[in-house]
A and B are shown apart, each in its own frame.
Chain A
């Protein structure tokens, strides 16, 4: 029950800066992943307009029939969202871990340009390790 299908990171303007799929189920071709990212960015913004109370910061969890989508938005507007199997636990914690990895290996990289696609090897390596660890921990339960 620990299946993550894919991970997306979008910048504050809604452009996709990082996409990773895990397995053939989450796979999407480049154009589609770009479209999905922009769509999500807009949906996230519109959901704030429809809130019955003040202080809404957008969709955090979307539950569908065959998948769940967890989203984390940092204070700067960068969104991290993960598509996973319905009912997967601890996705929020995983997203926070990914955010930490992003700040360490991407933002502190002097050659990384803000809002551009992420091409940082160390980020990829550590991300894979974090997801692996997550999988093992969950399967062990």
Chain B
């Protein structure tokens, strides 16, 4: 598995690119839209209740990916609007920014989507997301008691993630 080049967590996490407040929240979805993991560190505003919020987030990402695949200027073939894209197929976005937050997105070839919402002046978090994906592989996937497709309840994953996110924010 050479998707991220290496099967162990890289010994030194990528250097922090963000300054200021902590990250706001994080989501992990699988390819079917099940929210496997949601963690918030700093979220003053809750517009919707959690199940609706997760669905809306997944729906937004799904539509944005379909939009970017459609708008891709380098792809010759632009048919098939609305057809679900395989992970990795077609151009995908990696982040978007609004005036109040920045959302960074990573999708693995197996369809695991990692979303990190931080403050708007955060730099490029692609390497940080790859590191978080490696944490997921180590602490969740390799956990024999974890059943894929179910919500993640691994203490070690939570603590290591908290530690890492504090260091990048």
Contact = CB atoms under 8 A, between A and B. Distances in A.
Contact of A64 (B24, B44, B47, B68): B68
A19 interface: no
Interface residues of B, number: 39
Contact of B63 (A39, A48, A65): A39
B41 to A, nearest CB: 10
A83 B67 CA distance: 12
A61 B120 CA distance: 11
A102 interface: no
Contacts of B53: 50
Interface string B74-108: 10001001000000000111111111110100000
A50 B56 contact: yes
Secondary structure type dominating chain A contacts:
mixed
B67 A36 contact: yes
B83 to A, nearest CB: 14
A5 B91 CA distance: 15
Given A55-B99, A56-B100, A59-B97, A66 B74 contact: yes
B25 interface: yes
B63 A43 contact: yes
A56 B44 contact: no
A116 interface: no
A49 interface: yes
Nearest to A86: B94
Interface in B36-87: 40, 42-45, 47-48, 53, 56-57, 59-60, 63-64, 66-68, 70-74, 78, 81
A48 B97 CA distance: 11
A123 interface: no
B67 A40 contact: yes
A51 B73 contact: no
Contact of A47 (B25, B44, B72, B98): B98
A76 interface: no
Contacts of A62: 64, 68, 93, 95-97
A50 B57 contact: yes
Interface in B85-141: 91-101, 103, 117
Interface of A: 5, 25-26, 28, 32, 35-36, 39-40, 42-43, 46-67, 69, 83
Interface of B: 24-25, 40, 42-45, 47-48, 53, 56-57, 59-60, 63-64, 66-68, 70-74, 78, 81, 91-101, 103, 117
Query: Nearest 8 CB-CB pairs, A to B?
Result: A25-B73, A52-B24, A64-B93, A52-B43, A56-B100, A62-B96, A64-B68, A61-B97
